[in-house]
Structure 1
C-alpha cells in the first residue's frame, strides 16, 4: 500500500471510530478489530498515563499495574514528545 493509500485507510478507520456512539459499540468494534493481546497492549498504555502525569516512578507503576517498564517508558516518551493525543483525550474526559 502506498503512503497515500495508507493515510486514506487510516482516515477511514478514524472516521469509523468517530461514528460509534457508545462504550458498548466501541468495545464491540475494538474486539473485532484487535486481537486480545493488541487490545490489552492499548489498554495497558492508556492505564499508565495518569500515574505518569502524577510523576509516579516507572517501577512503582509497573508494580501496581503489571505493565512493563519498557512500555511505561514508551508512553512517557509519547507524553513529552508525541502528537499530544493523550493530553487531548484526558482533557476531554474531564469535561
Structure 2
C-alpha cells in the first residue's frame, strides 16, 4: 500500500492531533494555524471533487462547479476507484445514502 511510504512519527503526531479536535470550530482554528488558505482550499476542493464523482457528475460539470483541473479530477478519480479507501470511508460516513454509488473493485 502506498500509505506505508508516508508513515512516520511526524505524521502520527499530526494525525493524533486531528483526532483530538472536538468540533468544527476547533478544526477551523487548527487548520487556520497549520495550513495556508490555499492549502486548506485545495484539500477542500479535492474532497468536494471526490463527493461529486460519487454523485456520478461529469468531469465538465465538476470542473465548472469546483474549478479543479481535469488532471486533478482524474487523479482523484483514481484514488476513489483504486486508492487506499480514505475518500470512500469518509464519503460513506458523511453521505451513507451514496454507499451504492461506490466504485466496484
| TM-score band w.r.t. shorter chain | 0.7 to 0.9
Q: How does 1:1-95 map to 2 (within 5 A)?
A: 7-94=8-95
Q: Per-residue deviation at 1:54? A: 2.3
Give the 4+ runs in structure 1 shifted more than 4 A: none
Q: SS where residue 70 of structure 1 aligns?
A: helix
- Aligned match of 1:3: none
- Higher relative contact order (Cα pairs below 8 Å, separated by 6+ residues): 2
The two structures have a TM-score, normalised by structure 1, of 0.86
Q: Per-residue deviation at 1:50? A: 2.0
Q: Deviation digits for residues 28-83 of structure 1, max 9, x if unmatched?
A: 11111111111111011011112211222212210122221111111111101111
The two structures have a TM-score, normalised by structure 2, of 0.78
Aligned length, in residue pairs: 90
Q: Distance in 2 between matches of 1:53 and 1:93?
A: 12
Stretches of structure 2 lacking an aligned partner (at least 5 in a row): 1-6, 97-105
Q: SS where residue 8 of structure 2 aligns?
A: helix
Stretches of structure 1 lacking an aligned partner (at least 5 in a row): 1-5
